[in-house]
């Protein structure tokens, strides 16, 4: 490396360090103080809504800091773009800054920017029928800038097909558009039990990634460090699982619509101390709310299960519609996906245990498993009905939902299917859906 | 596709005491099924309107999956087992719907290949790992089919099936070479009727079918002159005598432009549209056809096979080992395919090579509606080829949608530009 490049890298690192440790904490603190001092028109909480979670402010601070730092990460440290199902612990051990395009897509969707962000991708020829997270991300590659500002260009792309085959098609495009290497963690679909040769195959792939990542990171891999990060990630996911478990209380101290937001650290910051710290705070608050009987929905009378990714641009509307009827979502197959297989993580066997934990996630397993999982959740959380979000953006999650619904129907569980999309409102009919939701709620 | 010939093949095989495996789309170790006495019959686009399938699948599922499920639901498959290669998310879940959620009694088997084929190292992926897993996936598939059939794979049967498939692939290669050389100027529909016979014929019959076709190729399409439009003096006359506007142009085989077709399958409205527009498909990159055989000559236990000794759970020796290697190589050396995660670079290289070898003047990328795997690649592939002055067209249609006039119009406009 030339002297000039070394100097540039050192200077980027210094800027990043100052931002991380001084400027951003100060700015976020000052922002918080100014918000508190500024006289604001107080919005009255609707009658049905329980008191908001105090943790939300901390969550906002953490995620703002994460995206704020992302803008300055390039040059200071290697940047990896990662799918939500990739064993991120491996890259954490090599000091990568990670960006989750799916999380960014959800953020854009929640801000109702899905169509605008995907427009440049559609203009470049990508079909509007493709996954809307992918379109938003390809939109970013074609110049769109989202609410989190400019994302840092990746040095490497890391993709695992344990959540869908779409990510593979999507990341292959990114590899060409950004001209960077793509590492694919191929997890064979589990149609029953995981076979030993499949574990070997996956563990060998992970080991095979190490020299490539070392080269990109410019530093050697340390297995002990990976073990420490795995222990931290395991602890974080277990804490997240405990947070979700508090929703078995009646009333549930948090709703799934809250959980959709509070899952961001376990998805994006898993393996970092900040995520673990956050879930300790959240768990304490939820436990305290459960103990004193504070619920997310006042007068909770219907307990529901959500299946699939959120309809990000409608989260608030759905919370209102269901909450006003005394219906609380107390479980979701989506949010529990980051806690379901954590127990397989065994830091003493890092590669094999990551192979198991990451390949046994709900979307990489057959529908029989999903039916069983949902039945178990229905029993454990005292659930009265299920709402299926049939999203055209996620085929592995959606294709098969009609059959799952029939299986649950046979077991006497009431259910509703909402046809929508994760971030693209063009695939959602508001009035028709509202009528169906009202009819569904009248069934209880 | 010749439905009568397909039915006859199934009947003959069953009459001889054989069993039938219905195989859903994708690439799979066909030899294993054949060696265990099954006739693999592939299910790509059954001629059934999806009605009952709508109760199980969302409208945004592709026609291949919906029609396949319709066939299962109507019990239109005289098959003993159902095989699902892991090709995409929708097919993956179709497998689970049929096996786990429907009252389907026939055994369902999933073949799960690695997502990065050996030889394609776009990610720096360790190829030996991928190849080893491919071999193990084939072994696992064989083990499941053995268990279902109650038979064991014999060395002789495996060797016979492997050599039969090598012969079938050689026949396909010869067929494509003749087509590219201009010696087979028949319609695209006629050409693909033969190619698609490979979806259901045993290898020996397929080889004979190709030999017959090459010996007696159908004549090229005749030149058709469109009728002169009638004289129209009033609007009323126009309405009364509204002429059927000629969709076909004056076509003679001398005028036809050579093209390369990329996509999932040669859907017949697409082929008819291409025929009508004056296109001669001389090479393809179709998942159901051209991505099912390598373009270079092979022999059992070919180049890659001789290098890599099998490590899988199956113990082989002598002819069986050679046959086993031929099966693994047959799959490992297939042309790049997005459903197996091949890089865009590998796809470009393959298409570049096929363009040069076939003399095609342009590429038609056909996407089956809602097929994400194919659709993702189109913008970058077309961008690459257009930069190199290779005209490209991307068309999308539903399977067997003969009423889609947009398809015909777009093909016609593209071919006009090529000629």
- In this predicted model, what pLDDT tens digit does every residue of B61-119 receive, in sequence order? 999 999 999 999 998 788 999 999 999 999 999 999 999 999 888 999 999 999 864 44
Query: Using CA atoms, how far apart are residues B48 and B31, in angstroms rounded to an integer?
Result: 29
Q: How many Cβ atoms are within 10 Å of B57's Cβ, its own excluded? A: 25
Phi, psi of B100 (to 5 degrees): -100, -25
Which pair of structure tokens corresponds to residue A106?
């959800």
Q: Which residue, among A250, A234, A383, has the nearest Cα to A242 in the 3D structure?
A: A234
**Touching B: A residues 396-415, CB under 8 Å:** 396, 398-404, 406-407
**Touching A: B residues 95-114, CB under 8 Å:** 95-97, 99-102, 110, 112, 114
**What residues in A contact B132, CB-CB < 8 Å?**
201
Q: What is the pLDDT of residues B272-285, one digit of tens each?
A: 999 999 999 999 99
Task: Return the pLDDT at B319.
Answer: 62
Q: What CATH number belongs to B172-220+248-296+335-418? A: 3.40.50.11900
Task: Return the pLDDT at B318.
Answer: 58
Query: Using CA atoms, how far apart are residues A293 and A310, in angstroms rounded to an integer?
Result: 27
CB-count burial class (<10 Å; 0-12, 13-18, 19+) for B388: exposed
CB-count burial class (<10 Å; 0-12, 13-18, 19+) for B179: buried
What's the gap between Cα B299 and its chain centre? 22
Q: Going by DSSP bridges, is the β-strand pair A385-391/A327-332 parallel, antiparallel, or unpaired?
A: unpaired
Distance from CA of B418 to the nearest CA of A (A): 21
Does any CB of chain B come closer than 8 Å to the CB of residue A124?
A: yes
Buried b (16+ CB within 10 A) or exposed e, A60-92: ebbbebbbbbbebbbbbbbbbbbbbbbbbbbbb
Task: Return the pLDDT at B250.
Answer: 42
Q: Report domain extents, chain A.
A: 44-442
CB contact under 8 A, B96 and A367: yes
Task: Return the pLDDT at B256.
Answer: 78
| Dihedral (Cα; A160, A164, A166, A170), 10-degree rounding | -30
Angle between helix axes A367-380 and B89-96 (nearest 10 degrees) is: 70
Which pair of structure tokens corresponds to residue A272?
């970092």
**What residues in B contact A132, CB-CB < 8 Å?**
none
Angle between helix axes A196-217 and A350-359 (nearest 10 degrees) is: 110
Q: For chain B, report the end-to-end CA distance as a whole number of angstroms.
A: 29
Q: Which residue, among A107, A395, A106, has the nearest Cα to B375 in the 3D structure?
A: A395
In chain A, count H helices and then E strands.
19, 8
Which pair of structure tokens corresponds to residue B270?
């697409």
Write the class of the CATH domain B3-171: alpha beta
Q: Which residue, among B353, B360, B307, B351, has the nearest Cα to B329 in the 3D structure?
A: B307
Half-sphere exposure of B69 (CA within 13 A, CB side): 30
The mean predicted confidence, pLDDT, of chain B is 86
Beta carbons of B390 and B258 less than 8 angstroms apart = no
Mutation target for A interface from B110, B133, B396: give the one with most A CBs within 10 A: B133
Phi, psi of B81 (to 5 degrees): -135, 160
Distance from CA of A183 to the nearest CA of B (A): 5
- Give every strand in the sheet of B257-263, ordered side by side: B279-286, B257-263, B362-368, B392-397
**Touching B: A residues 372-391, CB under 8 Å:** 390
Top pLDDT among A272 and B314 is at: A272
Which pair of structure tokens corresponds to residue A243?
């947070």
Distance from CA of A385 to the nearest CA of B (A): 20
Q: What is the pLDDT of residues B182-237, one digit of tens each?
A: 889 899 999 999 999 999 999 999 999 999 999 998 887 665 555 555 554 444 44
pLDDT truncated to tens, each residue of chain A (444 aa)? 566 766 776 677 777 776 677 666 766 666 665 665 666 666 667 889 999 999 999 999 999 999 888 888 888 899 999 999 999 999 999 999 999 999 999 999 999 999 999 999 999 999 999 999 999 999 999 999 999 888 999 999 999 999 999 999 999 999 999 999 999 999 999 999 999 999 999 999 999 999 999 999 999 999 999 999 999 999 999 999 999 999 999 999 999 999 999 999 999 999 999 999 999 999 999 999 999 999 999 999 999 999 999 999 999 999 999 999 999 999 999 999 889 999 999 999 999 999 999 999 999 999 999 999 999 999 999 999 999 999 999 999 999 999 999 999 999 999 999 999 999 999 999 999 999 999 999 999
Q: What is the pLDDT of residues A73-115, one digit of tens each?
A: 888 899 999 999 999 999 999 999 999 999 999 999 999 999 9
Among B94, B116, B339, the residue with its CB nearest the CB of A184 is B116
Which pair of structure tokens corresponds to residue A100?
């989750």
Task: Return the pLDDT at B314.
Answer: 54
Query: Using CA atoms, how far apart are residues A414 and A305, in angstroms rounded to an integer?
Result: 11
Task: Return the pLDDT at B302.
Answer: 38
**What residues in B contact A392, CB-CB < 8 Å?**
58, 60
Task: Return the pLDDT at A343.
Answer: 92
Which pair of structure tokens corresponds to residue B9?
């093949």
Does any CB of chain A come closer than 8 Å to the CB of residue B386?
A: no
CB-count burial class (<10 Å; 0-12, 13-18, 19+) for A303: buried
Task: Return the pLDDT at B296.
Answer: 72
3-class SS letters over chain B: CCHHHHHHHHHHHHHCCCEEEEECCCCCCHHHHHHCCEEEEECCCCCCCCCHHHHCCCCCCCHHHHHHHHHHHCCCCCCCEEEEECCCHHHHHHHHHHHHHCCCCCCEEEECCCCCCCCCCCCCCCHHHHHHHHHHHHHHHHHHHHHHHCCCCCHHHHHHHHHHHHHHHHHHHHHHHHHHHCCCCCCHHHHHHHHHHHHCCCHHHHHHHHHHHHHCCCCCCCCCCCCCCCCCCCHHHHHHCCCCCCCCCCCCCCCCEEEEEEECCCCHHHHHHHHHHCEEEEEEEECCCHHHCCCCCCCCCCHHHHHCCCCCCCCCCHHHHHHHHHHHHHHHCCCCCHHHCCCHHHHHHHHHHHHHHHCCCEEEEEEECCCHHHHCCHHHHHHHHHHCCCCEEEEEECCCCCCCHHHHHHHHHHHHHHC
Supply angle C-alpha A220, A187, A217, rounded to 5: 20
Task: Return the pLDDT at A442.
Answer: 95
Task: Return the pLDDT at B211.
Answer: 97
**ipTM summary value:** 0.92
Q: How many Cβ atoms are within 10 Å of B82's Cβ, its own excluded? A: 23
Which pair of structure tokens corresponds to residue B234?
């009033």
Beta carbons of B282 and B192 less than 8 angstroms apart = no
Q: Report domain extents, chain B.
A: 3-171, 172-220+248-296+335-418
Residue B300: pLDDT over 70 = no
């Amino acid at each position: 490396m030339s002297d000039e490049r070394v100097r540039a890298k050192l200077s980027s690192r210094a800027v990043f360090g100052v931002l991380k440790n001084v400027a951003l904490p100060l700015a976020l603190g000052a922002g918080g103080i100014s918000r508190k001092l500024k006289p604001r028109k107080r919005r009255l909480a609707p009658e049905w809504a329980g008191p908001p979670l105090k943790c939300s402010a901390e969550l906002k601070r953490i995620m703002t800091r994460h995206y704020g730092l992302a803008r300055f990460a390039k040059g200071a440290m290697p940047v990896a773009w990662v799918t939500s199902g990739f064993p991120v612990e491996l890259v954490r051990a090599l000091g990568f800054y990670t960006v989750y395009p799916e999380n960014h897509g959800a953020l854009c969707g929640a801000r109702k920017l899905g169509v605008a962000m995907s427009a440049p991708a559609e203009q470049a020829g990508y079909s509007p029928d493709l996954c809307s997270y992918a379109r938003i991300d390809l939109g970013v590659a074609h110049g769109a800038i989202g609410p989190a500002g400019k994302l840092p260009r990746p040095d490497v792309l890391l993709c695992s097909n344990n959540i869908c085959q779409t990510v593979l098609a999507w990341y292959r495009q990114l590899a060409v558009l950004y001209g960077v290497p793509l590492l694919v963690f191929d997890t064979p679909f589990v149609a029953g039990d995981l076979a030993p040769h499949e574990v070997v195959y996956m563990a060998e792939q992970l080991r095979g990634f190490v020299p490539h990542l070392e080269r990109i990171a410019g530093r050697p891999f340390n297995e002990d460090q990976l073990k420490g990060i795995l222990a931290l990630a395991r602890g974080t996911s277990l804490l997240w699982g405990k947070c979700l478990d508090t929703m078995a209380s009646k009333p549930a101290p948090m709703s799934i619509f809250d959980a959709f937001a509070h899952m961001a650290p376990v998805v994006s910051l898993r393996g970092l101390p900040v995520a673990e710290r956050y879930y300790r705070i959240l768990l304490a608050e939820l436990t305290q709310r459960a103990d004193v009987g504070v619920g997310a929905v006042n007068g909770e009378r219907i307990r529901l299960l959500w299946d699939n990714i959120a309809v990000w641009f409608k989260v608030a509307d759905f919370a209102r519609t269901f909450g006003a009827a005394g219906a609380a979502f107390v479980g979701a197959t989506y949010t529990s996906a980051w806690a379901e297989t954590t127990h397989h993580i065994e830091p003493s066997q890092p590669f094999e245990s990551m192979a198991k934990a990451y390949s046994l996630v709900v979307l990489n397993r057959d529908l029989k498993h999903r039916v069983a999982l949902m039945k178990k959740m229905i029993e454990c959380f005292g659930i009265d009905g299920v709402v299926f979000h049939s999203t055209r953006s996620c085929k592995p999650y959606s294709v098969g939902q009609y059959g799952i619904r029939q299986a649950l129907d046979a077991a006497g569980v009431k259910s509703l299917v909402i046809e929508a999309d994760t971030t693209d409102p063009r695939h959602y009919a508001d009035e028709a859906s509202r009528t169906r939701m009202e009819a569904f709620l009248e069934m209880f | 596709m010749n439905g009568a010939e397909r039915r006859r093949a199934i009947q003959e095989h069953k009459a001889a005491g054989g069993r039938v495996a219905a195989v859903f789309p994708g690439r799979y170790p066909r030899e294993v099924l054949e060696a265990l006495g099954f006739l693999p019959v592939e299910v790509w686009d059954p001629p059934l309107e999806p009605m009952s399938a709508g109760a199980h699948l969302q409208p945004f599922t592709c026609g291949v999956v919906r029609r396949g499920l319709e066939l299962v639901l109507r019990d239109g498959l005289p098959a003993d087992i159902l095989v699902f290669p892991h090709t995409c998310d929708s097919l993956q879940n179709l497998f689970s719907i049929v096996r786990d959620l429907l009252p389907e009694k026939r055994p369902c088997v999933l073949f799960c290949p690695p997502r990065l084929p050996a030889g394609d190292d776009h990610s720096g992926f360790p190829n030996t790992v991928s190849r080893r897993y491919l071999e193990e996936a084939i072994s696992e598939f064989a083990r499941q089919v053995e268990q279902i059939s109650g038979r064991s794979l014999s060395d002789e049967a495996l060797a016979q099936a492997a050599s039969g498939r090598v012969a079938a692939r050689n026949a396909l290669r010869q067929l494509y070479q003749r087509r590219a050389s201009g010696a087979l100027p028949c319609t695209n529909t006629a050409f693909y009727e033969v190619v698609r016979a490979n979806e259901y014929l045993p290898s020996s019959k397929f080889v004979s079918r190709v030999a017959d076709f090459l010996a007696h190729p159908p004549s090229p399409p005749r030149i058709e002159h469109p009728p002169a439009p009638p004289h129209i003096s009033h609007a009323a006359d126009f309405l009364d005598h509204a002429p059927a506007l000629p969709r076909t142009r004056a076509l003679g085989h001398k005028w036809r432009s050579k093209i390369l077709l990329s996509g999932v399958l040669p859907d017949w409205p697409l082929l008819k549209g291409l025929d009508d527009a004056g296109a001669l498909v001389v090479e393809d990159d179709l998942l159901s056809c051209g991505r099912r055989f390598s373009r270079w000559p092979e022999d059992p236990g070919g180049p890659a096979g001789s290098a890599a000794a099998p490590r899988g759970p199956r113990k082989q020796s002598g002819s069986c080992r050679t046959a086993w290697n031929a099966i693994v190589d047959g799959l490992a050396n297939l042309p790049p395919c997005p459903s197996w995660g091949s890089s865009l670079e590998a796809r470009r290289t393959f298409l570049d090579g096929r363009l040069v070898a076939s003399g095609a003047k342009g590429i038609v990328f056909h996407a089956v509606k809602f097929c994400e795997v194919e659709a993702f690649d189109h913008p970058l592939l077309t961008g690459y080829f257009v930069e190199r002055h290779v005209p490209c067209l991307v068309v999308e249609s539903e399977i067997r949608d003969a009423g889609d006039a947009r398809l015909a119009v777009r093909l016609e406009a593209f071919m006009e530009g090529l000629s």
